[in-house]
Structure 1
Amino acid sequence: MALKRTLSHRAFRRLWFGQLASRIGDSIHEIALIWVVYEVTGDPMLLSLTFAASFVPTVLLSLPAGVVVDRVNRKYVLVGSDLARAAAVLAIPLVGRGPLLIPTVLAVAVFTGVADAVDGPARGAFVPRLVPDEDLDGANSLVGMTRSLSQVLFAAGGVVVAAFGSFAAFYVDAGTFLVSALFVATISSEYGVPDREESGDADDVVDVMRDGASRLVDDVRDVLGFVRKRPLLRNVLVLSVVLQFAVAPVNVALPVYAPSLPIRDSLALGVLYSAFFTGMTAGMLGIGRFEDAIDESRGHVLVAGMLGFGVSLAAAVLVIPASLVAVAGVVGLFAVAGLGFAAATAPGRTLAQLLVPDERRGRYTAVASTLGSGAFVVGLLLTGPLVSLVSAQHTLIGVGAFVAVTGVVAAFQPLGRAHHEASTSDHGSSPGESTVDTD
Structure 2
Amino acid sequence: MTNEARRAERAARSGVTAGRPLWRQRDFGFFWLAQTLSVLGDSFSLIALPLLVLKATGSVARMGLLTAVGGVAMVLAAVFAGVVVDRVDRRRLLIGCDLVRMVLYGLVPLVWLAGPHLWLLYVVLPLCEAVGMLFAVGYVTVVRGLVDVTRLTEANGRVNATAAAAGVLGPLGAGLVAAWAGPADAVAVDAASYAVSAALLLFVRVRERTGDDRPAERKGVWRDLRTGVGYLVRHPVLRSVTGLLAVFSFLSLGINDLLIYHLKHDLGRDDGTVGTVMAIGAVGTIAGALLVARLRRRLGFGPTWIGATALCGLAFAGLGWVRTVPAVALLSAVYLACVGMAGTCSMSLRQEITPEPLLGRVTAAHWTLQYSLAPAGAAVLTWAAERYGTAPVAAVAGACCTLIAVAGLGTPIRHAAPRKQLS
Q: How does 1:30-109 map to 2 (within 5 A)?
A: 30-34=46-50, 42=57, 51-95=67-111, 97-98=113-114, 104-109=120-125
Question: Are 2:143 and 1:127 equivalent residues in the alignment?
Answer: yes
For residues 341 and 353 of structure 1, the distance between their equivalents in structure 2, rounded to whole angstroms, comes to 18
Deviation at residue 96 of structure 1 after TM alignment: 5.5
Q: Deviations over 1:346-378 (max 9, x none)?
A: 112111211211111111111222223323213
Describe the SS at the equivalent of 2:214.
Answer: coil
Out of 304-313 and 96-105, give the one that drifted further. Answer: 96-105
Q: How does 1:15-26 map to 2 (within 5 A)?
A: 15-26=31-42
Deviation at residue 302 of structure 1 after TM alignment: 0.8
**Aligned partner letter, 2:235:** R
Question: Are 2:292 and 1:287 equivalent residues in the alignment?
Answer: yes
Return the TM-score normalized by structure 1: 0.78
Question: Are 2:311 and 1:308 equivalent residues in the alignment?
Answer: yes
Q: Deviations over 1:211-269 (max 9, x none)?
A: 8xxx33322222222122221121222243233223225234435544798x6444775
Describe the SS at the equivalent of 2:253.
Answer: helix
In structure 2, the partner of 1:216 is 221
Describe the SS at the equivalent of 2:352.
Answer: helix
Return the TM-score normalized by structure 2: 0.81
| Structure 1 residues 407 and 52, CA gap change in structure 2 (3 angstroms) | closer
Question: Are 2:418 and 1:398 equivalent residues in the alignment?
Answer: no
Question: Are 2:157 and 1:154 equivalent residues in the alignment?
Answer: no
| Structure 1 residues 14 and 396, CA gap change in structure 2 (3 angstroms) | same
Describe the SS at the equivalent of 1:70.
Answer: helix
Out of 135-144 and 250-259, give the one that drifted further. Answer: 250-259
Q: How does 1:283-362 map to 2 (within 5 A)?
A: 283-288=288-293, 290=294, 293-294=297-298, 297-315=300-318, 321=323, 328=326, 331-362=329-360
Identity %: 25
For residues 403 and 345 of structure 1, the distance between their equivalents in structure 2, rounded to whole angstroms, comes to 14
Any conservation in 2 of the 1:149–1:281 contact (CA below 8 Å)? yes
Any conservation in 2 of the 1:53–1:113 contact (CA below 8 Å)? no
For residues 244 and 352 of structure 1, the distance between their equivalents in structure 2, rounded to whole angstroms, comes to 18
Structure 2 unmatched ranges of 5 or more: 1-17
In structure 1, the partner of 2:203 is 186
Any conservation in 1 of the 2:37–2:163 contact (CA below 8 Å)? no
For residues 134 and 367 of structure 2, the distance between their equivalents in structure 1, rounded to whole angstroms, comes to 11
Within the candidate set 129, 138, 142, 2:154 is matched to 138
For residues 51 and 110 of structure 2, the distance between their equivalents in structure 1, rounded to whole angstroms, comes to 17
In structure 2, the partner of 1:377 is 375
- Count of residue pairs brought into register by the alignment: 402
Any conservation in 2 of the 1:240–1:345 contact (CA below 8 Å)? no
Within the candidate set 167, 173, 182, 2:190 is matched to 173
Deviation at residue 42 of structure 1 after TM alignment: 4.9
For residues 64 and 398 of structure 2, the distance between their equivalents in structure 1, rounded to whole angstroms, comes to 25
Q: Deviations over 1:180-235 (max 9, x none)?
A: 112211112544779335xx32x4xxxxxxx8xxx333222222221222211212
Structure 1 unmatched ranges of 5 or more: 204-210, 434-439
Deviation at residue 101 of structure 1 after TM alignment: 5.5
Q: RMSD of aligned C-alpha atoms?
A: 3.5
